[in-house]
């Protein structure tokens, strides 16, 4: 039997952002930390999130992304519902206002 039929399928949503130097008027690292808190708080606000973690880059400044989000959902429908949720829309607007670029990967775990 395949993983989907056995109910073992999960979807992982990974997003990385590089913030503008003037992000939030406080600098990239400081604003990334604020955004990480906003992103992680979505775990208690939006149904269907199995896990959610946001992290701020501690590596070499300027060489990669400033902020990453890794979240897991029970299925594709739950990910879609998360993306349409008003709290997600609110936080997405905060991030989009500070982002210079982003990369997204969504994939199925089994």
> Is the CB of residue 3 less than 8 Å from the CB of residue 110?
yes
42, 91 in Cβ contact below 8 A? yes
In a domain, 97, yes or no: yes
Say whether pLDDT at 1 is over 60: no
Average confidence (pLDDT) over 68-95: 97
What are the distances in angstroms from CA 58 to CA 33, 39, 50, 63, 95? 11, 18, 26, 11, 19
Please indicate, yes or no, if residue 54 is contained in any of the structural domains: yes
CATH number at residue 35: 3.30.70.100
Alpha carbons 88 and 39: distance in angstroms, whole number: 8
Relative orientation angle of helices 28-41 and 86-96, to the nearest 10 degrees:
170
Residues near 40 by beta carbon (within 8 Å), at least 6 away in sequence:
52, 53, 54
Q: How many domains does the chain have?
A: 1
Which residues lie across from 19 on neighbouring strands? 99
Q: Is residue 89 part of a domain?
A: yes
In a domain, 3, yes or no: no
> Is 20 a domain residue?
yes
Question: Residue 62's CB: how many other CB atoms inside 10 A?
Answer: 10
Q: What is the mean pLDDT of the chain?
A: 91
Average pLDDT, integer, range 84-98: 96
Residue range of the domain that includes 30: 10-60+67-109
Average pLDDT over residues 77-105: 96
């Amino acid at each position: 039997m395949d993983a989907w039929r056995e109910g073992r399928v999960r979807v992982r949503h990974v997003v990385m952002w590089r913030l503008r130097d003037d992000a939030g008027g406080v600098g990239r690292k400081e604003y990334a930390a604020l955004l990480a808190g906003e992103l992680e708080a979505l775990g208690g606000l939006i149904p269907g999130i199995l896990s959610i973690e946001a992290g701020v880059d501690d590596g070499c400044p300027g060489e990669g992304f400033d902020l990453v989000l890794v979240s897991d959902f029970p299925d594709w429908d739950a990910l879609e519902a998360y993306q349409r949720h008003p709290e997600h829309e609110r936080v997405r607007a905060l991030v989009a206002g500070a982002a210079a670029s982003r990369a997204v990967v969504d994939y199925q775990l089994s």
